[in-house]
Amino acid sequence: MKNKIDMNRIELIQSIFQKTNFQTYLEIGCEAGKSFLPIKAKYKTAVDPFFQIPLKRKARWIIQVPKNLNNKYFTEESDTFFLTRTGYLETLGQLDIVLVDGLHTFQASLNDVLNSLKYLNKDGIIIMHDCYPPNKAAALPTKTYPKPEDLVGVEGFTDQWYGDVWKTIVYLRRNLSELLDVCVIDTDCGLGIVRPKAPLAKSDLVVDEKSFSAIDRLTYDDLIQDIRSMLNLKNADHASTVIKEIVNNNKKVLST
């Protein structure tokens, strides 16, 4: 039987929406809609350059969650979305919950987090998927989904590609620890949690190239030697703590 505290990303996101007045949800890397369509929120936005949502699945989830009729889909890369859709984002207002599950590279995931932070509710949350690769093969640092030639000499690859998303966690902890609360929960392939704890300036959201280069040189072996410290790795039950903190902050906002 599944332990109730071992929440996956859908359960975590939905629990927060159910217990707060949060309304806006952005998912980067929607693909087939398996995590996007079940979420119940008033305003939902999906970004993916290659949507693969079967019409039957979309229809089924519209019946189950009628608010899916109002979903907005942007068929483009996330960098393009944030660059060209500023008007839409400003009209939408602050983002309450963002799921970053796009291209599984350090550069792409870091860009997605920093861009999302520009619009994030000060009490909101960014959740990153695939932050705790189980082995070196899954953590292969390629620029796209691994091709056969990338896997020559790589043992243990099982079609699970986490890439080097974990480096974004390291970057945020090294460079923005005073401004962000960052950790990885050991559940659902490693759920990265990013929450503001102080106001961010525009300069904070510009990539420090020197730091980026140093972290980019880290390997999976470097990670596993000090994984709890590098990722601020938390046990699965920490998801409940995150939910409680967000709910308590939300109550304070409602009472003021």
Q: 44: which strand partners?
A: 25
- Cβ burial of 136 (10 Å; 0-12, 13-18, 19+) is middle
Q: What is the pLDDT of residue 26?
A: 98
Q: What distance in Å separates the CA atoms of residue 245 and residue 31, rounded to the nearest whole number?
A: 30
Orientation angle between helical segments 106-117 and 166-175, nearest 10 degrees: 50
Q: What distance in Å separates the CA atoms of residue 31 and residue 250, rounded to the nearest whole number?
A: 31
Q: What is the pLDDT of residue 146?
A: 85
The three-state (H, E, C) secondary structure of the chain, written as one string: CCCCCCCCHHHHHHHHHHHCCCCEEEEECCCCCCCCCCCCCCEEEEECCCCCCCHHHHHHHHHHCHHHHHCEEECCCHHHHHHHCHHHHHHHCCEEEEEECCCCCHHHHHHHHHHHHCCEEEEEEEEECCCCCCCCCCCCCCCCCCCHHHHCCCCCCCCCCCCCCHHHHHHHHHHCCCCEEEEEECCCCCEEEEEECCCCCHHHHCCCHHHHHHHHCCCHHHHHHCHHHHHCEECCCHHHHHHHHHHHHHHHHHHC
Q: What is the pLDDT of residue 184?
A: 98
Q: Please report where in the chains the tokens 């599984």 appear, as a residue.
A: 104
Which tokens hold the place of 14? 């939905």
**Residue-wise pLDDT tens for the chain (256 aa)?**
334 458 999 999 999 999 999 999 999 999 999 999 999 999 999 999 999 999 999 999 999 999 999 999 999 999 999 999 999 999 998 999 999 999 999 999 999 999 999 999 999 999 999 999 999 999 999 988 888 888 877 888 888 899 999 999 999 999 999 999 999 999 999 999 999 999 999 999 999 999 999 999 999 999 999 998 999 999 999 999 999 999 999 987 776 6
Q: What is the pLDDT of residue 1?
A: 30
Task: Sketch out the chain's domains with CATH numbers.
Answer: 9-255 (3.40.50.150)
- Cα angle 200, 76, 202 (rounded to 5 degrees) comes to 15
Q: What is the pLDDT of residue 49?
A: 96
Q: What is the pLDDT of residue 155?
A: 82
